[in-house]
């Protein structure tokens, strides 16, 4: 660990490489976090199955590429497939837990995540998968900093989706209905909004965002049936830091998390990177709560 | 359920517990696991059911117990039984110490933040154990070989786990009947009001967590030795199996009741054995489906369902009389 720190101090350009790659992956984390913030804010459900939806999106992109679909087309394809799945999940499970207490929704979505993990393991196999997107690699500063172009593409797409989501929520009819339902479901119902359909659309939109994120993950990094929970925790952490209903905040805390995690993975060693992510989440929770407790308040 | 009926049930369970291993000698290991599950469900319910703090990371203390006992057995150079005893003692101490240490910080969180914070703790512990070479890293640890045959070994651990489950039950029963039980129930029902009434809520919360941690750490020390191999992710900090099971068993039986976790553990253990035997490869798919079903359709559990039915009868009887 000390040796790694010395290495980093001696070659700052190495740190630049780590931070740059971290920022790029952070944008993809933010993509999954938009969805989580949406479901949490509108339906008051913490969607533990989020990460599995991301990984499933990755597997769908992987299967589509295997079937001969060009990689770039896989992003909308995975988003669409997951959107359908999200609609189905809403109809079968989510609508039944929407007005129950949070413990029930956490446990139910946790059950769904365990189910999906092994299902993916059975259907797609336990191997680590990745997809060759056909992009090259960008070399900067005489080869000291390398960036795969697909990561830049993922970064751009994640930011664009953020802007699109913001426009959708503020301008589109359905987006306004979603925000109205989030503010006060009863009032929204009185005013003629079909809240059940709005919830279904919200959950499907969340799943579609996860699908897009997953297809980017499989192109730029790797996926595995059992790593979904990491993405859930990252999304959760980003949402707690950014707060609900704050798309720009989600982007910035996503980028920050990506950079921090990449640096920590280098300094502590790759075997502790996941532990770092989870401990960081606990730390973020505790610190936020300590700040609130000075005002005799707590996280709600 | 209280008073005389409680004692009859406890006496009956004591008889069953003593007779079962001699009636079904082939199933002793299964029965031992059943008592382990009872400890899991009971100790989870202290926090989750009675106090309303739904922890998804209690597996942390189980893992601490597993590793502490194994390290004492490996490094202290005692013979088998002395090593096990010393290991268990130290496990209990370190488990409670860890609960004290973490409790101050994390028990300030409430509701779902607490649930997810503890989930993170449990997984972080698994990852750290998986990378820490002193305790075998990803390769895990092997506990010393029991001096004696397989049957004696199973019976030995059966007896210890049965005693642990029994003492856990009796201790919690006494705890719930005194002021402490009322205090943690008050915290569950309305923490702000409990605090306004002058209860030092944080102290109660930490104590409850220490109780759960103590029993789980002892269970961990015993289970690690009974299984014989401590894998960081699949045995010690097995969040996806033991960690979820303890929540599920308590919910299935009826959380916040004394007998609910025991009943839930017994039923769940049977179901889980069937899944793991007949649906191998798909067992988690089945389990995940089961979790969703139970939680969505029977969130009040078996005891809650029984109580509701009885309450329904009472109401109807009352109406008939009127």
| In chain B, domain spans | 13-321
Residue A113, chain B, CB below 8 Å: the answer is yes
Half-sphere exposure of B203 (CA within 13 A, CB side): 7
Helices (H), chain B: 4-23, 28-48, 59-75, 80-106, 111-131, 150-177, 179-189, 191-196, 201-227, 244-253, 260-278, 283-297, 301-321
The partner residue sitting opposite B108, judged by closest CB among A229, A279, A289, is A289
Chain B contacts of A97, Cβ < 8 Å? 295-296
The partner residue sitting opposite B120, judged by closest CB among A103, A278, A289, is A278
Q: Could you give the CA distance from residue A108 to residue B294 in angstroms, rounded to a whole number?
A: 9
> Of A187-191, B93-97, B239-243, where does mean pLDDT reach its minimum?
B239-243
Residue B131, chain A, CB below 8 Å: the answer is yes
Has residue B217 got a pLDDT over 90? yes
Please report, to the nearest 10 degrees, the dihedral formed by the alpha carbons of residues B26, B30, B31, B37 taken in order. Answer: 180
B273 burial via Cβ count (<10 Å: 0-12, 13-18, 19+): middle
Chain A contacts of B49, Cβ < 8 Å? none
Per-residue pLDDT, averaged over A127-132, amounts to: 81
Per-residue pLDDT, averaged over A147-154, amounts to: 82
Give how far B52 is from chain A: nearest CA, Å. Answer: 10
The partner residue sitting opposite A236, judged by closest CB among B116, B288, B299, is B116
DSSP class per residue in B210-247: HHHHHHHHHHHHHHHHHH-EE-IIIIIT-IIIIIHHHH
Taking an 8 Å cut-off on Cβ atoms, the answer to whether A118 and B240 are in contact is no
- Considering the four listed CATH numbers 2.60.120, 1.10.3470, 3.30.70, 1.10.540, the one that applies to the domain covering B13-321 is 1.10.3470
pLDDT digits (tens, 9 = 90+) for B164-216: 999 999 999 999 999 999 999 999 888 889 888 888 888 999 999 999 999 99
Question: pLDDT at position B140, please?
Answer: 80
Taking an 8 Å cut-off on Cβ atoms, the answer to whether A96 and B296 are in contact is yes
Question: pLDDT at position B314, please?
Answer: 59
Has residue A150 got a pLDDT over 50? yes
- Residue listed under structure tokens 């009859």: B8
Residue A283, chain B, CB below 8 Å: the answer is no
Give how far B101 is from chain A: nearest CA, Å. Answer: 13
Chain B contacts of A261, Cβ < 8 Å? none
Question: pLDDT at position B89, please?
Answer: 92
Q: Which of A88, A299, A300 should we substitute to test contact with B (largest number of B Cβ atoms within 10 Å)?
A: A299
Beta strand pairing call for B229-230 and B141-142: antiparallel
The partner residue sitting opposite B115, judged by closest CB among A106, A118, A271, is A106
Confidence of residue B35 (pLDDT cuts 50, 70, 90): very high
Confidence of residue A275 (pLDDT cuts 50, 70, 90): confident
The partner residue sitting opposite B127, judged by closest CB among A104, A274, A293, is A274
Give how far B143 is from chain A: nearest CA, Å. Answer: 24
Higher per-residue confidence, A10 vs B96: B96
pLDDT digits (tens, 9 = 90+) for B97-117: 999 998 888 888 887 788 888
pLDDT digits (tens, 9 = 90+) for A276-296: 888 888 888 888 888 887 777
Give how far A139 is from chain B: nearest CA, Å. Answer: 33
Taking an 8 Å cut-off on Cβ atoms, the answer to whether A233 and B251 are in contact is no
Q: Which residue of B has its CA nearest to A227?
A: B123
- Residue listed under structure tokens 């952490």: A237
Q: Could you give the CA distance from residue A48 to residue A55 in angstroms, rounded to a whole number?
A: 13
Question: pLDDT at position B322, please?
Answer: 42
Taking an 8 Å cut-off on Cβ atoms, the answer to whether B285 and A113 are in contact is no
Question: pLDDT at position A169, please?
Answer: 87
Q: Could you give the CA distance from residue A62 to residue A128 in angstroms, rounded to a whole number?
A: 11
Chain B contacts of A228, Cβ < 8 Å? none
* Of A22, A57, A4, A18, nearest in space to A206 by CA: A57
Taking an 8 Å cut-off on Cβ atoms, the answer to whether A107 and B251 are in contact is yes
Q: Could you give the CA distance from residue A253 to residue A237 in angstroms, rounded to a whole number?
A: 9
Residue A104, chain B, CB below 8 Å: the answer is yes
Taking an 8 Å cut-off on Cβ atoms, the answer to whether A269 and B292 are in contact is no
pLDDT digits (tens, 9 = 90+) for A46-63: 888 999 999 999 999 999
Give how far B56 is from chain A: nearest CA, Å. Answer: 9
Residue A102, chain B, CB below 8 Å: the answer is yes
Has residue B219 got a pLDDT over 60? yes
* A101-120 CB burial, b ≥16 within 10 A, e <16: ebbbbbbbbbbbbbbbbbbb
Answer whether 0.90 is exceeded by the pTM. Answer: no
Chain A contacts of B130, Cβ < 8 Å? 271
- Residue listed under structure tokens 């992987």: A62
Q: Could you give the CA distance from residue A264 to residue A19 in angstroms, rounded to a whole number?
A: 10
Taking an 8 Å cut-off on Cβ atoms, the answer to whether B284 and A299 are in contact is no
The partner residue sitting opposite A118, judged by closest CB among B116, B117, B282, is B282
Q: Could you give the CA distance from residue A198 to residue B61 in angstroms, rounded to a whole number?
A: 42
pLDDT digits (tens, 9 = 90+) for B132-149: 888 887 788 888 888 888
User: How distant is the alpha carbon of residue B211 from its chain centre?
Assistant: 11
pLDDT digits (tens, 9 = 90+) for A80-129: 999 999 999 998 888 888 878 778 888 888 889 888 988 998 888 888 88
Has residue A139 got a pLDDT over 80? no
pLDDT digits (tens, 9 = 90+) for A177-214: 988 888 888 898 898 888 889 999 999 999 999 999 99
Give how far A247 is from chain B: nearest CA, Å. Answer: 21
Taking an 8 Å cut-off on Cβ atoms, the answer to whether A275 and B115 are in contact is no
CB pairs under 8 A between A and B: 133
Q: Which residue of B has its CA nearest to A113?
A: B288
* Of A85, A94, A292, nearest in space to A196 by CA: A94
Per-residue pLDDT, averaged over B303-315, amounts to: 75
Confidence of residue B320 (pLDDT cuts 50, 70, 90): very low
A247 burial via Cβ count (<10 Å: 0-12, 13-18, 19+): buried
> Which residues fall within 8 angstroms of residue B256, CB to CB, at 6 or more apart?
B45, B49, B50, B185, B188
């Amino acid at each position: 660990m000390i040796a790694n720190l010395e290495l980093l101090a001696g070659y700052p350009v190495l740190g630049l490489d780590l931070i740059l790659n971290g920022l790029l992956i952070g944008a993809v984390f933010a993509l999954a976090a938009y969805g989580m913030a949406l479901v949490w804010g509108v339906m008051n459900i913490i969607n533990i199955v989020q990460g599995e939806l991301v990984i499933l999106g990755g597997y769908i992109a992987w299967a589509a590429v295997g079937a001969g679909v060009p990689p770039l087309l896989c992003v909308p394809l995975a988003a669409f497939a997951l959107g359908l799945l999200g609609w189905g999940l809403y109809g079968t499970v989510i609508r039944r837990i929407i007005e129950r207490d949070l413990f029930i929704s956490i446990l139910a979505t946790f059950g769904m995540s365990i189910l999906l993990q092994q299902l993916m393991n059975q259907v797609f196999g336990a191997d680590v998968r990745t997809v060759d997107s056909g992009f090259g690699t960008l070399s900067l500063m005489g080869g000291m900093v390398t960036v795969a172009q697909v990561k830049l593409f993922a970064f751009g797409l994640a930011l664009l989706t953020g802007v699109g989501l913001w426009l959708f929520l503020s301008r589109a009819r359905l987006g306004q209905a979603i925000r109205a339902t989030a503010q006060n479901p009863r009032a929204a119902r009185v005013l003629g909004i079909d809240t059940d359909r709005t919830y279904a659309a919200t959950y499907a939109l969340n799943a579609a965002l996860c699908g897009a994120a997953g297809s980017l993950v499989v192109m730029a990094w790797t996926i595995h049936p059992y790593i979904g929970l990491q993405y859930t925790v990252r999304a959760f952490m980003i949402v707690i830091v950014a707060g609900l209903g704050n798309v720009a905040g989600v982007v910035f805390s996503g980028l920050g998390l990506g950079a921090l995690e990449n640096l920590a993975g280098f300094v502590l060693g790759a075997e502790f990177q996941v532990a770092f992510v989870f401990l960081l989440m606990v730390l973020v929770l505790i610190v936020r709560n300590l700040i609130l407790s000075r005002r005799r308040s707590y996280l709600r | 359920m209280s008073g005389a009926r409680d004692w009859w049930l406890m006496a009956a369970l004591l008889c069953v517990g003593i007779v079962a291993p001699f009636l079904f000698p082939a199933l002793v290991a299964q029965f031992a696991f059943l008592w382990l599950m009872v400890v899991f469900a009971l100790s989870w319910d202290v926090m989750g059911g009675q106090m309303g703090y739904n922890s998804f990371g209690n597996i942390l203390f189980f893992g601490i117990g597993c590793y502490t006992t194994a390290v004492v057995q490996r490094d202290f150079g005692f013979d088998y039984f002395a090593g096990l005893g010393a290991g268990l003692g130290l496990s209990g101490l370190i488990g409670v110490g860890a609960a004290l240490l973490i409790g101050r910080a994390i028990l300030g969180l409430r509701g779902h933040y607490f649930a997810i914070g503890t989930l993170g703790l449990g997984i972080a512990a698994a990852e750290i154990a998986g990378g820490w070479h002193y305790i075998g890293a990803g390769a895990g640890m092997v506990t010393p070989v029991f001096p004696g045959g397989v049957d004696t070994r199973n019976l030995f651990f059966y007896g210890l786990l049965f005693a642990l489950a029994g003492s856990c039950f009796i201790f919690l029963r006494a705890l719930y009947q005194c002021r402490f039980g009322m205090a943690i129930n008050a915290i569950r029902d309305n923490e702000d009001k409990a605090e306004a009434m002058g209860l030092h809520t944080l102290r109660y919360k930490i104590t409850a967590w220490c109780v759960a941690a103590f029993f789980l750490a002892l269970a961990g020390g015993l289970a690690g030795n009974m299984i014989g191999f401590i894998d960081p992710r699949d045995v010690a900090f097995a969040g996806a199996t033991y960690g979820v099971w303890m929540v599920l068993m308590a919910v299935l039986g009826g959380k916040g009741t004394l007998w609910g976790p025991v009943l839930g553990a017994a039923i769940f253990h049977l179901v889980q054995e069937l899944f793991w035997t007949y649906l191998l490869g798909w067992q988690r798919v089945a389990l995940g489906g089961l979790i969703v079903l139970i939680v969505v359709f029977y969130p009040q559990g078996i005891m809650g369902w029984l109580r509701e039915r009885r309450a329904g009868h009472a109401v109807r009887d009352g109406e008939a009389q009127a």
